Amino acid sequence: MTDASGPIERPGQPALDRLAFERLTVAHRRALKLHCYRMMGSLNEADDLVQETFLKAWRARAQFDGRGSARGWLYAIATNSCLNAIKARSSARRILEQPGRPPAEGGATGGPTAELAWLEPYPDAELPDVADDRPGPEARYETREAVRLAFVAAIQLLPPRQRATLLLCDVLGWSAIETAQLLGGSIASINSALQRARATLGERYPQGRPPQRSRPNANEGVLLERYMQAWQADNLDGLVELLREDAIYHMPPWREWYHGRPAIGAFLGSVWGNFAGYRAVAIGANTQPAVGVYALGRQDSVWQPHSLHVLEAAGDKIASLTIYVPPLGPALFSAFGLPPEPRASSDLLPLRRPPAP
């Protein structure tokens, strides 16, 4: 039997040797990390769980008889590791929006909220090659569609077992039989969990799923450039104009969120002058346009990491804007390859000279 990573032993053969196992980890690391991220909503936890998965797989390599695929074997270990990790933590889900909290009006006064578990963005640089990670024929979602920030936020609303079932069946394309073998229980129980999971997503998406979008388009590039220019040119009105009338704005780790262009514009106007200038670097997060923003304090001479912005585009407007602000935003910079201070790069737009303090 062969696998994408090379030869895998048949029953009765010696366990995977170290070289074969290393090829296996290289072939599947990114896909497994993305799976763990979808389950957990956390970049750091996904990293830890992939490491745990490979450690468990190495220790149990003698038990892999070669009759199934190495990919399925690793996904089984990773999924069960995620379910155990969720049981062990205080919150079963990570959020972009606190359940039951209405949109805010005016300024934000609550401050960062460390006690809530916030959904983190995912670097595009860490995504697996789509050509090497095709879902099975029963999948309902395209690979890139199922990593968008709103989708990961929506599946975080599901109980852990339903979340795992939906990811295995609708994202990876596993059959109900395969999923039942991994999670335990009957095929009927898997189908029931899948129906409940789809119903929950249907409450968030009227058509039962997010709008399909598998590739970026030229409009998104133009929108991102205009968005960066607005920040760097101190053009608040221009930035607000990029928002759709019914746009939504989240700013983890603050509880407050805003709905509608007027409310978002009023809030941004209340904080816009807190810094002397901004520098923006284009990145990619969750297959969406994204930006890392550095800020210069009015009494400072050093640019500091400030926030990480993820845009949900709808045509030439922004339908949803998530800005990870301090302290969470700067903590994410290294995961996206952003240096501690901005440097000359083609990703940087021409800078305005900030006003003197």
What pLDDT tens digit does each residue of the chain (357 aa) get?
334 343 344 444 445 678 888 888 898 999 999 999 999 999 999 999 999 999 999 998 877 766 668 888 999 999 999 999 999 998 889 999 998 899 998 888 888 988 899 999 999 999 987 544 556 666 788 777 899 999 999 999 999 999 999 999 999 999 999 999 999 999 999 999 999 999 998 887 655 555 555 456 778 999 999 999 999 999 999 999 999 999 999 999 999 999 999 999 999 999 999 999 999 999 999 999 999 999 999 888 889 999 999 999 998 999 999 999 999 999 999 999 999 888 754 344 444 333 333
Strand pairing of 257-259 and 243-250?
antiparallel
CB atoms within 10 A of CB 126: 16
Closest C-alpha to 293, from 241, 349, 243, 255: 349
pLDDT score recorded for residue 210: 58
Q: How many CA atoms lie less than 13 Å away from 33 in the CB half-sphere? A: 19
Location of structure tokens 């997060």: 285
pLDDT for the residue numbered 188 = 97
Tokens at 269, concatenated: 């106007």
> What domains can be seen in the chain, in order of their start residue?
96-121+216-357 (3.10.450.50)
Question: Cα separation of 30 and 66, whole Å?
Answer: 22
